[in-house]
Structure formats: C-alpha cells, structure tokens
Structure 1
C-alpha cells in the first residue's frame, strides 16, 4: 500500500468545528475528521464510517448511513474524537455495482443476495487504511461507535484496545427496515 497524506486543515460544519486530514491509498481517498481537541484526548471516541454516496450525500432512505454519520459527527463534535470516512462505496463494490445491487433489491433480493448475484462477497471492504490512520494519529485505545462486529474484530486484530462500544442506532423507516433486519440477522450487526 503506497499512501500519500495531506496536511491538517480546519473544517467548520453544522456538527461542530473539526480538523481534517486526507489519506490516499492507490485510487481511494479517505478522511480523518477530528474534533478540535483531538490531540488532547487520551481515549477518543471513534467511528469508522463506510462511504455511502446515496445515503450520505443524497439522503437515501434505503439505508441508515446518513443518520449514522450525522449521529457520529454530532456526538464527536460534542464529546471529542474522530470519524474515519472510509471511502469504499457499497461495501467496496463501487457506485455502479451498488446501483445494480439496488436494482436487484427492487426485485426482491436482500443486500447480501444482490451482492452475491453480482459476483461479490457480501462485504468486500478492506480496512488496512484504518490501521495506517490509527498509527499515523497514534491511536492505541478507542471508544468505538459501531454496530458492526467485523469492524470490532478488525480493530482488535491490529492491536487497538476497544475500551467501550457505543451503539450507532438510528430510527428505522419503511424503506430500510428489511435492510436493517438483514444486517442484524445475517451479518450479526448489533441493532
């Protein structure tokens, strides 16, 4: 992995004032979105948020991604910590394939069945950049904001101590209820 990183810049948002740093590995660019007091926090709250253009930017109701991102930014803006914006769209199948998966979901497949029918695993994400960011920012212990057991296991596997898990639970709606049930029942998400 050949990684290029940016300088740190200020980013005022509706969620609070943050500082950001970008990381580029091969063709993907990721963000570390840090609270202003990040360097002074012994054990930061951390959210590894996987990119979801349709949810995060457009406000799709088919998922809970934008709600989880907003919840995490609001929380970290107040409590201090870091959001890693992990740019691996559609569990790393890319935007085009994600839209094809949406079309299959419109025909009755769940999120896992759609990915598999398109020739992918249920989750293609690679978290190696997360380790690089943790190392770069000298993170050894976290209070992790997640529902995803795979993220928990990965972070433990790189030697980072998870001292607390904070659920990222948001309200379901009629468009994402089946999606959330699939994540809970088939992927082990703690919802």
Structure 2
C-alpha cells in the first residue's frame, strides 16, 4: 500500500434512479474510473449535495448475499440501505468496492460459511481456509476519492481499519460516523466477532447470543 497511490481518472458519469424494496428512492450519479490500482470495477455513487460541507463517505464492500439476496447472516444489506439515505441527506459519496467476502471472493466466502456452521467464527473460518482474516486494501478507494476531488471527509463506518488505511493514503478523515446496529438471530455471533477481533465500534452489550 503506497502513501501516494497513482492517479486515477473519471471514466463516465451516469444518472441512475435508485429504488429500494421498502419504497425509499433517490437519484444517484454513478461514476466509473480509469487507472484503479487493483484493476477491479469499483463504482462511486454520488448522492445529494454537500453544498460546501465536508462530504459523508462510506466504503461499502460488495456482498452479493447480503446486498442483493437479503441474507440475514450479515448486516451488509441494511448498512447499504442506511448509508444511501444518510449520504443523500447530507451529501457525499458511497464507494461500492468489489471486495466480496472481505476480499476473499464469493466462493471462498461461502466455503467459510460452511466452516462457520461447524462452529468457527468469521475470522477463524478464513484462516482455516488458508486465507487472510481481512484481505481488503483501500488504495483504489483513495484513488477514487482523489479523482472526485475529495481530500477531506467524514467516514460512515464502524471499522477503524478503513479510517486508518485512508489516512495512510493521504485522505483526511475528520470523523468516523457509526452505522446502525442491524442484528438478526443469524448474524449476532458474526457481529460479536467483529467487535472482539477487529475493534469494530458496535455496542457489545447488545450483541448477546441469547
């Protein structure tokens, strides 16, 4: 990870009306890029109008099962829905990053799910497969933000690693704004593991397995 990632440029911008299953809708401008360091097709979703205020930004890692299929094994789908509305109200950008399964890919993520069904937590399952607990690198995210002219932001995230990586890449993260807590009977152990092992700022007392 470089302190000064190579410059990326905007490729195209297109207006897209977003409509969610609960009836919420908003227009977004989707931005694609040339020159992203990892070669993946990440997309920036520009929402609202910051009108001179510090933009609110979320780095949202792709989760097919949660975002598209409504899986209750994680909190990704509700986080995505919440983030779109919060950013639209304030003005900012959601970076949709193609880093399925914390960077290990969809098939490996589902292999890890099978191990979680046998009792391993989300991080131990990755390790048992010989994979990193979290393989995500946010260099491309920093490139995207720079190409959008964003050098200072408030970060919508419970994950301190995202803020730390962005700062190391030259992005000024002023504040980290927590997301909501979206617990289900199927994801509470997953959320507890995020608190205990990677310092996610979630209220541990609420995440009981009972």
So what's the TM-score if we normalise by structure 2? 0.85
1:16 aligned onto 2:16: no
Is contact 1:184–1:190 with CA below 8 Å preserved after alignment?
A: yes
Q: Secondary structure at the match of 2:12?
A: coil
> CA, structure 1 residues 138+5, in 2 after alignment: closer, same or farther (shift >3 Å)?
closer
Contact map agreement 2:8 2:144 (CA 8 A) in 1: no
Show the counterpart of 1:61. Answer: 72
In structure 1, how many angstroms separate the alpha carbons of the residues matched to 2:139 and 2:166?
10
Q: Structure 1, residues 117-170: CA drift from partner, whole Å, max 9, x if none?
A: 111110011211011101101111101100001101011112222222210122
CA positional deviation for 1:37:
2.6
Supply the RMSD in Å over aligned alpha carbons.
1.8
Aligned partner (choices 26, 43, 47) of residue 31 of structure 1 = 43
Change (3 A) 1:17 1:41: farther
Aligned equivalents of 1:121, 1:83: Cα separation in 2: 25
Asked if residue 105 in structure 1 is aligned to residue 110 in structure 2, the reply is no
Structure 2 unpaired stretches of 5+: 1-5, 20-24, 203-210
CA contact (8 A) 2:49 2:88 kept: no
The TM-score normalised by the length of structure 1 is: 0.93
Structure 2 SS opposite 1:7: strand
The total of aligned residue pairs comes to 190
Give the structure 1 partner of residue 3 of structure 2: none
Structure 2 counterpart SS, 1:68:
helix
Equivalents in 1 of 2:9, 2:176: separation in Å? Answer: 30
Aligned to 1:93: 104
Match of 2:126 in 1: 115
The 8 Å contact of residues 157 and 178 in structure 2, kept in 1 or not, is answered as yes
- Would you say the 8 A contact 1:67–1:170 is kept in 2? no
